[in-house]
Amino acid sequence: MGVIQKIGVFTSGGDAPGMNACLRAVVRKSVSVGLDVVGIRRGYQGMIEGDFVDMDSKSVSNIVQKGGTILKSARSKAFRTPEGRALAAGYLKQAGIQGLVAIGGDGTLAGASVFYDEYKIPLVGCPGTIDNDLFGTDETIGFDTAVNTAIQNIDKIRDTADAHDRLFLVEVMGRDAGFIALNCGIGGGAEMVLIPETLSDLDEVKHHIYTLMSSQHRSSIVVVAEGDETGGATQIANVLRADAAFENIDLRVCILGHTQRGGAPSARDRVLASRLGVAAVDALLAGHSNVMVGIVNNEIKLTPSRNVWSRKKSISYELLGLTQMLS
Ligand code: F6P
């Protein structure tokens, strides 16, 4: 592969606030060094369909503050097949695209590794997912905004919980990870946080909540990560409602769901996304391939894509200790 003159950029998987800021950085950095940039719509699905659009500095004006992704996103089933990937490689070749920047989460980077092994098109990933579950970066694009959104909602739930002396089970996103739950649990002053990284014994959960509600706390908030092995907030509520001891405890479930994926990115996410977008183009130009750019201890770091999704990023046990100590 000679000197790269034209690159493609796409957003893939679950959207995350800050993806647009990252896209803007990729496009503007590329333009500044004389690269041609093509936007690939709807992630890998658009690659398979040759859904490409030429981009320049103007095409990314006025998007740094916007949630979602102007290139749209998708979870492509067809890209998981060799036939789908062959179609994608064909369209990239036809368009003269010699390098790729992928903005997305674990599924995106897993797809990128397979594609690179097969077609050797240089590819650099940018970590974009609210879940923060990627090894190789302290924070992913969208995580900070999602935590802030969840905290704002928990504050509101706290008002109504207090007014009615109620117990609220608040479910936050995190399919396999408890980063959002842990952070918004601490910031929102939750009485208990349940995450997939730690096993929750339902009898102990019941006992803890019962003790809380019948002693100092007349209202309580329990934050549950959607991926918690208990089955989530609705499942826990069913277990509690079936127990006679909870007969007089007024409880409600609130699932924050996709509210956490939308909205304007926080300042922190915009800055992170801008740094990573520029770093991704730098990495491509420096000849790196099949890596993800991340920020570790405030420094740009490259990690092989395979490690990003095959290695488990650890939660902070210090934060976990805080949730227990401060509740
Ligand atoms: O992108 C991550 C995530 O928001 C997870 O937290 C959640 O489990 C999943 O995506 C939901 O995906 P979808 O919007 O495709 O249902």
pLDDT digits (tens, 9 = 90+) for 100-122: 999 999 999 999 999 999 999 99
Place of tokens 């606030």: 17
Going by C-alpha positions, the residue among 248, 260, 256 that lies closest to residue 167 is 248
Q: Does residue 172 have a pLDDT over 90?
A: yes
* Ligand 1 residue neighbourhood (C-beta within 6 Å): 13-14, 75, 105, 129-131, 173-175, 226, 261
Q: Does residue 216 have a pLDDT over 90?
A: no
Relative to beta strand 123-127, strand 36-40 is unpaired
Contacts of 217 (CB under 8 A, 6+ apart): 191
Residue 175: count of CB within 10 angstroms of its CB? 14
pLDDT at position 75, please?
A: 97
pLDDT at position 85, please?
A: 98
Cα–Cα distances in angstroms (integers) from residue 276 to residues 47, 64, 273, in the given order: 22, 14, 5
Angle at 194 between CA 273 and CA 147, to 5 degrees: 25
Residues 190-205 have pLDDT tens digits of 999 999 999 988 899 9
**CA-proximal residue: ligand 1, atom 1 (nearest):** 14
Segment 309-323 mean pLDDT: 93
- Mean residue pLDDT of the chain comes to 96
Q: Which two tokens stand for residue 33?
A: 């060094």
**Rounded to whole angstroms, how far apart are CA atoms 284 and 252?**
50
Amino acid at 65: Q
Residues 139-157 have pLDDT tens digits of 999 999 999 999 999 999 9
Backbone angles phi, psi at 9, to 5 degrees: -135, 140
Q: How confident is the model at residue 215 (pLDDT cuts 50, 70, 90)?
A: confident
pLDDT at position 1, please?
A: 54
Residues 15-28 have pLDDT tens digits of 999 999 999 999 99
- Three-class DSSP category at 20: helix
Worst-scoring range by mean pLDDT, 36-40, 204-208, 291-295?
204-208
Give the residue, out of 141, 175, 179, 309, with the most ligand 1 atoms within 8 A of its beta carbon, to mutate for a pocket test.
175
62: region left, alpha or beta (phi > 0 left; psi from -120 to 50 alpha):
left
Q: Does residue 217 have a pLDDT over 80?
A: no
Give the H or E element holding residue 55. strand 52-55
Cα of 160 from ligand 1 centre, angstroms: 27
Please give the domain boundaries of the chain with CATH numbers for all domains: 6-142+265-310 (3.40.50.450), 143-262 (3.40.50.460)
Residues 81-104 have pLDDT tens digits of 999 999 999 999 999 999 999 999
Give the residue, out of 130, 145, 184, 259, with the most ligand 1 atoms within 8 A of its beta carbon, to mutate for a pocket test.
130
CA atoms 315, 318, 322, 324: torsion sign:
positive
Cα of 136 from ligand 1 centre, angstroms: 20
Worst-scoring range by mean pLDDT, 56-60, 128-132, 199-203, 253-257?
199-203
Q: Which two tokens stand for residue 265?
A: 């990115």
Work out which ligand 1 atom sits closest to the CA atom of 75. Answer: 15
Contacts of 275 (CB under 8 A, 6+ apart): 25, 295, 300
- What strand order describes the sheet that includes 36-40? 52-55, 36-40, 6-11, 99-104, 123-127, 291-296, 299-304
Residues 275-293 have pLDDT tens digits of 999 999 999 999 999 999 9
- Which residues, in sequence order, are bridge partners of residue 232? none
Work out which ligand 1 atom sits closest to the CA atom of 260. Answer: 4
Q: What's the pTM value of the predicted model, to 2 decimals?
A: 0.97
- What strand order describes the sheet that includes 220-225? 192-194, 220-225, 167-172, 251-255
Active-site residues, by number, are 131
Percent of the chain beyond pLDDT 90? 92
